[in-house]
Amino acid sequence: MTALLPYGRHSVTEDDVAAVVAALRSDWLTTGPQVDAFEADLAGWTGGVACAAVANGTAALHVAYAAAGIGPGDEVVVPPMTFAATASTAVALGARVVFADVEEETYTLDPAAVAAAVTSRTRVVSAVDYAGHPADHDALRGVLAGTGALLLADAAHSIGATYHGRPVGSLADLTTFSFFPTKNLTTAEGGAVAALDPALLARARRFRNHGLVRDRAEQRWPDEGGWHQEVHEFGLNYRLPDVLCALGRSQLRRLGDFLAARERLVRRYDEALADLPGVRRPGRRSWARPAWHLYPIRVLDGRRREVYDRMRAAGIGVQVNYIPAHWHPVFADLGYRRGSCPVAEGFYAEQLSLPLYPGLTEADQERVVDALGAALRASTARAAA
């Protein structure tokens, strides 16, 4: 039986293993020097914007919303074409999520839809860099001018991408990253929050560490003793261990190579699928250099489910990214309804992610393209019978 070709896969080398082993043999396993070093290395990819490393991408969103002061009565605008965590972490803090539709070409947040969604209660607008393509941050900034709302970039897919030549991480008030194994670099589990305002970053760092206040100058009762620490606002343990930060530092040294490999594979997909009937390739804007976490095609004429099943049966691990967030039963039970974001919902009905990761070989890619063509031909023949 042919082995399943996954849609995403991590890339771990002996250098990565050596970095982890060295951390394991050091005096630090949890919060130590590798955390600070990893955060400094990350800032090299965000245009110098400081970062706080956290336990995972979902934690990054929760931490960012907490740093923004999100609470009951606040509204957070979110696109539906994202993993549920972009919305659920805001709900966990008591906010009401308002879903705004996406653009037809890039499936990132539509500034016109945001303009219609923003109210006096809007505290954060979360723009998801879908598939690694940056959202139109300047247009979103224009919509939010004078509202007092913060712009958050959910950059789980897009570390290393640029927008008008500016790096992701420097574009929004808050930016969140994910380092899950299928992402563009990995710390196994892990994430980070970047913040333009040092005060927001300080709040993020405090929230990820139980809300603890150790600086005597900020404590209410500073003369208790050298052991003393206080909690002024509730936080959680979202720390990323030293050993995983060591892996992240090693991975970051190859991020440029990872991005170049993904870009090369995307060009080959673009060429191979240019004349394939029944498929629409992913769009992009001239001002963006995407990080290409996903290669999302559209399978036309209502054939996505059949093509998915046929490709999976052929050992090609295609995926669908994502079920519109407001379709999940937890949101349906809160009163959110299908049909409210027609562009995102129409895209979902046709979306299929083809395998894409740096270790994908040309032979692997040819296998994917051949299987896609065969699935489409079989679907066409069945429909004509």
What would the pLDDT profile of 351-384 be if each residue is shown by its tens digit? 999 999 999 999 999 999 999 999 999 988 888 8
Q: How confident is the model at residue 275 (pLDDT cuts 50, 70, 90)?
A: very high
**pLDDT tens, 73-128?**
999 999 999 999 999 999 999 999 999 999 999 999 999 999 999 999 999 999 99
pLDDT above 60: residue 1: no
- Burial class of residue 336 in the structure, from the number of CB atoms within 10 Å of its CB (0-12 exposed, 13-18 middle, 19+ buried): buried
For the segment 317-326, the average pLDDT, to the nearest whole number, is 98
pLDDT above 90: residue 300: yes
**Residue 229 token pair:** 């620490």
Q: How confident is the model at residue 306 (pLDDT cuts 50, 70, 90)?
A: very high
Helix axes 242-252, 33-43, angle to 10 degrees: 30
pLDDT above 90: residue 3: no
For the segment 40-52, the average pLDDT, to the nearest whole number, is 98
| Strands of the sheet with 351-354, listed across from one edge | 279-280, 295-299, 351-354
Per the CB < 8 A criterion, the answer to whether 287 and 166 are in contact is: no
The CATH architecture of the domain made up of 14-252 is 3-Layer(aba) Sandwich (3.40)
Q: Where are the domains of the chain?
A: 14-252, 255-384
Helix H, strand E, coil C: the string for 197-238 is CHHHHHHHHHHCECCEECCHHHCCCCCCCCCCCEECCCCCEC
Mean pLDDT, the chain, integer: 97
pLDDT above 90: residue 28: yes
For the segment 56-80, the average pLDDT, to the nearest whole number, is 98
For the segment 181-203, the average pLDDT, to the nearest whole number, is 97
Given this model, what pLDDT does residue 384 score?
Answer: 80
**pLDDT tens, 243-252?**
999 999 999 9
**Residue 173 token pair:** 């008030």
For the segment 129-155, the average pLDDT, to the nearest whole number, is 98
Per the CB < 8 A criterion, the answer to whether 177 and 60 are in contact is: yes
For the annotated catalytic residues, the residue numbers are 183
Reported as half-sphere exposure (CB side, CA atoms, 13 A), residue 268 has a value of 19
Q: How confident is the model at residue 218 (pLDDT cuts 50, 70, 90)?
A: very high
Given this model, what pLDDT does residue 380 score?
Answer: 85
Tell which CATH classification among 3.90.1150.10, 3.20.20.190, 3.30.200.20, 3.40.1280.10 matches the domain 255-384.
Answer: 3.90.1150.10
Given this model, what pLDDT does residue 97 score?
Answer: 98
